[in-house]
Amino acid sequence: MSDRRPGDQEEALLSAYVDGELSAAEAQQVARRLEEDADARRTVAELRRLKELTNRLQIKEPPAEEWERFWQGHYNRLERSLGWILLAAGLLLVGGWGAFSLLRSLWSDASVPPSLRWGVTAAVAGLTVLLISVFRERRHRRKTTRYKDVVR
């Protein structure tokens, strides 16, 4: 084998070798490769050092006060989220009813100029499209953010 730095796929195979996740045949194949390839041997040595370091890490249990503060903040966020959802739903219902009533009264009143009817209708339709667009974008961003599992 050539004396080159292993690629991602090769490094994954070497990592599986270090972790003991390969079948006997695969492990023998990697062992033969390690005899021939100095870069692969260096990579395995680095992976073993990394594994040794991470195995020594211990998770420190937070004190009871920290857990209490966490759960209190969690409940506050739940309550506020529910409050915002209910407020938004109420405003959407009232705003929708108001917009519908406005459009109905404009279109049923013959004394209102057609340009005003169409202008108000376009404004209501534009506002509706913008609100839907913002909602969809926020929903999409929440699902695809790389940082959603990061805890501060």
**Mind listing the pLDDT tens digit for each residue in 99-111?**
999 999 999 999 9
* 41 shares its domain with 82: no
The overall average pLDDT reported for the chain is: 87
Residues 52 and 71 occupy one common structural domain: no
- 52 and 90 co-located in one domain: no
1 within a domain of the structure (yes/no): no
Identify the weakest region by mean pLDDT among 3-12, 20-29, 32-41.
3-12
Residue range(s) defining the domain that contains residue 88: 65-144
Any domain includes 41: yes
In a domain, 151, yes or no: no
Is residue 14 exposed (0-12), middle (13-18) or buried (19+ Cβ within 10 Å)? Answer: buried
5 pLDDT tier (thresholds 50, 70, 90): low
Please, what is the Cα angle at 53 between 7 and 46, to 5 degrees? 30
Domain boundary among 32, 56, 80: 56
150 occurs within a structural domain: no
- Token pair belonging to 121: 């209708």
Is pLDDT at 25 greater than 70 in this prediction? yes
The tally of domains found in the chain comes to 2
